[in-house]
Structures are given as C-alpha cells and as structure tokens.
Amino acid sequence: MNKPILPTESAHLDSASLEELRARFQCKIAAIVPAWNESHRIAPVLDVLVSSGIFDEIVVVDDGSTDGTAAVAAKNPGVRVVCHDTNQGKGKAMDTGVRATTAPFVYFSDADISGFGGGEIAKVVSPVLDGKVDMMIAMQNRVIFSSPLVLKLIPLLGGQRALTRELWLKVPDVHKTGFGIETALNFYASHWGGGLAYEVFPTLKQTIKERKSGLAQGMWNRFRMCVEVARAVVVLQRSDLPDRVKAARRNLLQAVVGACGLATSLVLMAAAFQASACSSIGPILLNEPACVDTSSSLVPAFALAAWSIYRLISCFRHDAGFRICGRRRTRIEFS
C-alpha cells in the first residue's frame, strides 16, 4: 500500500507563499475529487487539499461507491460531498463536480494518490491561473517518461490537472463519460483552447488497479480503460478536428502524393533514357541480347512529372499550410 500523504511541510504552503498566491490570483478555484470505492485512500488526499489553503471549495463526487467512501469524505468539515446513486464513470463524476460549483477554475484530483502536497498543487494551478495555458497536468515519474519524445506523443492521462471552466464547457457531453474524458480534455485544450502544459513530479504515486481490485479484476479494469481511451482518440480525430486542421492534413497528403509521383516519374525517365541509349549502341557481344527502345515511355513519365509538380505547387499556395496538429504541449520544469 502506498504511503499516504500527510499534512506536513510537504503537504501545505507556508503562510507567506499562500498569501502571495492569493494576492496574484484574485479568483475562485475549486478542487473536485471523483471517487469510487476509495474509502481506504481518500481521507489523506482530502486532508492535503483542505490544509493547502488554495481552494475556495472542495467537492467530492461519490460515483456509486459501496464501501462507504461518501461517509469517510463527509467526516472532513472542509469538504462537500455529492453522490451518484449508481456508478456512472469517471467522466460523469467529474462533470457532476463541475456542475456543483461556479468556480472559473477547477482542479481535479484522483482519490488514490500519495506524495503530492500543497507545494506541488500550487505548481499545477499556477500556469492556469496565470493564463499561460488552459490546462496543466501532473504526471507520475515513470521510467517511460524519461524520454521527452514519449511525453510529446503519448496521451497524458494524469488525474491531477488544473484547467479553466471555459475549457471544460467546450468539451461536448458525449465525451464526458468514462476514462475518455482526459483524452478529450487534452484534445480540446490543444485544438480548441489555449494549449496545455505538463510536468513530471517524482514524488507523485498512485495505487494501481491490480492492487485495489485484485490481479484479475484490476487487469480487466485496466483493459477497459485502455479501450475507452483508444475509442476516444479515434472519435475525436474523426469528428472533432477543426476545419483548419482537416484542411492542413489534406494538404499534407496531397504534398506526399505529389512528391511520390515526382519521384516515380524521375525513375521512369531514367529507365527510359538508359534503355534508349542502350538501344542506340546496339549489342556489342554476340551472346548479349539487344536492348529494346522504350523511349515512348517518356511521354507518360513527363505527364506524371508535370502533374506532380502542379500538386506540389498548389500545396504551398494553399492557405491551410501544413499545421496538422494543435498547440504544442509545453513542459514546465520547476526548480
């Protein structure tokens, strides 16, 4: 079992830092904790959120738990608990939490984390409150994340994230279901919002599904999560891309086709010229077969080259350009 977060020096901001944070950002921010059967892990997480002093309100959404999670959360006087009668998935729980508050900024926290105190929380919320990005994500320190390229390519599925309410409202309700919500938030921050940032926090830990539910059930839950994330990626790329990105991708495809056509035409020309030269010289040795004149193949080769050049020129004249992705992910490294 992971060591719980305790409200010690690493779990809260000192009074000077807290006053500085509130002086810089005269705004309301709410912490939302979606939870399902987390009665043994949620209390230390709530202690940190309350003792940090960062949040104007803290909302726990009990997503149909059967182990008394809501009762454990309600023991903390600084927390408001909202309950689902049945389990509706992480996305629905997060949406219920957002609807339960009017705060213009929200901070989502998983209920099963450890090693993440008030100082780390402040680093997550500050870039969003500063207006640098629409969303900031805290990632665990996994071995695979040691490669910057990996972090630029994989879905950022960290449950600790701060974002604007405006970004949340941009995401259609159809995507606010299950584990696909985090993928949808990343997509909309990149393509329809003000971008996203992330950082890897060495102390951040999370209880794995296999430890919470047992090996077999945990692996099944993980498989379902991967399926939901993959489905969200496919649906978002197919139906939610901005028109400018769709046009840029068509433009890039046209450029690739034009480049391949031009390369093919050059190969055909080279082959035709070689065959024509060989035919004019004639066989030198009696046992060497005569070459056939294939100069007529130059006509389609030149036609293909002309068509390919036209396609390439039209690509560079197209207003869409070649920006096939949204805003770049920004890594914010803290000292």
For residue 8, name the pLDDT band (cuts at 50, 70, 90): very low
Three-class DSSP labels, 131-159: CCCCEEEEEECCHHHHCHHHHHHCCCCCC
What's the domain count of the chain?
2
Q: In this structure, is residue 322 part of a structural domain?
A: no
pLDDT winner (highest mean) among 38-42, 302-306, 328-332: 38-42
Which value, to the nearest 10 degrees, does the dihedral of the CA atoms of residues 61, 65, 67, 68 take?
A: 40
Given 181, 205, 240, the domain boundary residue is 240
In the predicted structure, residue 18 carries a pLDDT above the cut 70: no
Indicate whether 49 and 129 sit together in one domain. Answer: yes
- In CATH, what number is assigned to the domain containing residue 64? 3.90.550.10
314 contacts 254 by C-beta, under 8 angstroms: yes
- The answer to whether residue 159 scores a pLDDT higher than 50 is yes
Q: Do 222 and 261 fall into the same domain?
A: no
Which amino acid is it at 66? T
Q: How far apart are CA 63 and CA 59, in angstroms?
A: 12
Do 184 and 274 lie in one domain? The reply is: no
Range of the domain at 203: 9-240
Q: Note the pLDDT tens digit of each residue in 70-117.
A: 999 999 999 999 999 999 999 999 999 999 999 999 999 999 999 999
pLDDT the model gives residue 109? 95
Q: Which of 93-97, 141-145, 189-193, 240-244 has the lowest mean pLDDT?
A: 141-145
Same domain as 88, residue 121: yes
**Distance set, CA 219 to CA 38, 183, 225, 226 (Å):** 18, 20, 10, 11
Q: Are residues 41 and 187 in the same domain?
A: yes
Percent with pLDDT over 70 in the chain: 74
Comparing C-alpha atoms, which of 326, 125, 162, 147 is closest to residue 245? Answer: 326
Q: How far apart are CA 226 and CA 234, in angstroms?
A: 12
Amino acid at 78: G
Which amino acid, one-letter code, is at 171?
V
What is the spatial distance between Cα 124 and Cα 54, in angstroms, rounded to a whole number? 11
Question: What's the token pair of residue 39?
Answer: 């009665």
Q: Is residue 331 part of a domain?
A: no
Same domain, 159 and 261: no
Q: How does the average pLDDT of the chain come out, rounded?
A: 79
Q: Summarize pLDDT for 205-215 with one digit per residue, the tens.
A: 888 777 887 88
